[in-house]
Amino acid sequence: MEAVSKPFTSVWAREPRRPRSSGLGREQIVTAAVEMLDAEGLEALSMRKLGARLGAGATSLYWYVANKDELLELAMDEVWGLVEVPDPDRAPWREVVTTTAYGLRVTLRAHPWMANLFGRMPMAGPHAFAMTDRLRRAFVRAGFTGVDVYLASGTLMGFVLGQVIPEIGIRQVTTDGRYDPAGMVAVVDRVAADYPEMRAEFRETVEMDPEAARAMAFDFALLCVLDGLEARLAAARATEPAVRERE
């Protein structure tokens, strides 16, 4: 039997409702939801608990959002609005992309609950579109064309998420005591007995400040991504004269 797909729904598919006479508005609800998510995590958020935090019943919240997923859409877009993205008309494309990458890293680390929502929630809010448009225009100004504009933007987003989501995971298991760095070193030292060079390098790495090591890894990888994108542009420009001659 074929699976029946659920119709796509989104809080952005309809106009926001006007506040009721109680004075509780959507902006106030979203701000409180982000604060709760930051303090207690994704699993702790519920319409009932949020209503209690705001001094209102859960039914008051349903005037603005149909369910928890819609509330999370609003909360995610609120956070996207915190990411610094320079105006691509006023800055070189590498500066725009670099600033955006660092801004994304800072923002996601400050709001770790976001890591569990990628792919589950649509990025269809005004802040998400504004960020995406600035990145798009930066890559257009760099020289990317057609679908390559969005592939380049997707490459940047994929890089940042691939770097930051493990950072968030490591920080969580370290903070709650599930991860013992000293114990891990002892285990690696034992099981990697046949790889003395790797063992020595691992010890040196462990002795570094973890935050400094992660920042250094992010810096190195981001430069590689940008250099790769720039090399792709240079290669495309180099082939243009040959293509014109054949035409």
Q: Determine the average pLDDT of the residues in 4-31.
A: 78
pLDDT of residue 241: 59
> Which candidate, 26, 139, 125, places its Cα nearest to that of 83?
125
- How far apart CA 139 and CA 154 sit, in angstroms, is 11
Residues in the chain: 247
> Which candidate, 99, 67, 65, places its Cα nearest to that of 84?
99
Portion of the chain with pLDDT greater than 70, in percent:
89
141-163 burial string, b = 16+ CB within 10 Å, else e? ebbbeeebbeebbebbbebbbeb
Higher pLDDT, 143 or 14: 143
Mean pLDDT value across the chain: 86
- Is the pLDDT assigned to residue 168 strictly greater than 80? yes
Instruction: Return the structure tokens found at 83.
Output: 């990411």
Give the model confidence (pLDDT) of 94-138 as tens digits. Answer: 999 999 999 999 999 999 999 889 888 888 899 999 999 999 999
Give the model confidence (pLDDT) of 51-85 as tens digits. Answer: 889 888 777 888 888 889 999 999 999 999 999 99
**Amino acid (1-letter code) at residue 57:** G
Angle at 81 between CA 11 and CA 147, to 5 degrees: 80
Domains parsed from the chain with CATH numbers? 11-79 (1.10.10.60), 84-246 (1.10.357.10)
- Residue 228, CA atoms < 13 Å, CB-side half-sphere: 11
80-100 burial string, b = 16+ CB within 10 Å, else e? beebebbebeebebeebbbbb
Q: Name which of 110-124, 168-182, 190-204 the model is least confident about.
A: 168-182
Torsion of CA 6, 154, 77, 87, to 10 degrees: -150
pLDDT of residue 72: 95
pTM: predicted TM-score of the whole model, two decimal places? 0.84
- Is the pLDDT assigned to residue 91 strictly greater than 80? yes
